[in-house]
A = this chain, B = another copy of it.
Amino acid sequence: MSEWLIEPVSKTGVPFAGTAGSNPALSVFCFGLCFVSRFNTKSLKLIMRIALGQFNAVVGDLAGNAEKMREIYAEAVRSDVDLLVFPEMAVCGYPPEDLLHKKHFLKDCSSALEKLAADCPDKTIIVGFAENYRDNNYNSAAVLQGGRISKIYRKAQLPNYGVFDERRYFLPGEKPMVINIGGLNVAVTICADIWEAEWLVNFLKSKRQIQIILNISASPFHVGKIKKRQEVVSQCAKEFNSAVAYCNLVGGQDELIFDGRSMFADSTGKIRAKAKAFDEDLLIADIITTNNGTIEVEPLQAAAIQPANRADEIYQALVLGTRDYTGKNGFKRVLLGLSGGIDSSVAAAIAVAALGAENVVGLTMPSKFNSPETIGDAMKLAENMGIDFLTIPIEPILKQFDKALKTVRGWKGEGIAYENLQARIRGSILMSLSNQFGSLVLTTGNKSETAVGYATLYGDTAGGFAVIKDVPKTMVYKLAQHINKIAKRQIIPADVITRPPSAELKPDQKDSDSLPDYDLLDKILKGYVEEDKSAQQLIKSGLSRDDVMRVIRMVDCNEYKRRQSPPGVKITPKAFGKDRRLPITNRYISS
A residues apposed to B, CB below 8 Å: 58-62, 64, 92, 95-99, 101-105, 108, 160-161, 165, 167-168, 252-254, 324-325, 328-329, 390, 392-394, 396-397, 399-401, 403-405, 407-408, 410-412, 415-418, 420-421, 424-425, 427-429, 431-433, 435-437, 457-458, 462, 464, 532, 534, 536-537, 560, 563-567, 580-591
Contacts and interface: CB of A to CB of B under 8 A. Distances in A.
Given A165-B165, A393-B404, 8 more contacts: A58-B587, A103-B534, A161-B168, A392-B407, A397-B397, A405-B433, A424-B432, A564-B566
8 contacts: A60-B586, A61-B587, A102-B532, A104-B534, A420-B431, A424-B458, A428-B458, A458-B462
B392 A99 contact: no
The oligomer's copy count stands at: 2
A317 to B, nearest CB: 16
Contact of A105 (B324, B462, B590): B590
Contact of A590 (B101, B104, B252, B329): B104
Contacts of A108: 588, 591
Nearest to A561: B464
Nearest to A585: B328
Contact of A98 (B99, B329, B392, B581): B581
A99 B555 CA distance: 13
B582 A98 contact: yes
Contact of A436 (B417, B427, B585): B417
Contacts of A424: 424, 427-428, 431-432, 458
A587 B458 contact: no
Nearest to A401: B397
Nearest to A560: B464
Given A421-B428, A425-B428, A585 B433 contact: no
A404 B392 contact: yes
Contacts of A168: 160-161, 165, 167, 581
A45 to B, nearest CB: 45
Contacts of A390: 407-408
A563 to B, nearest CB: 7
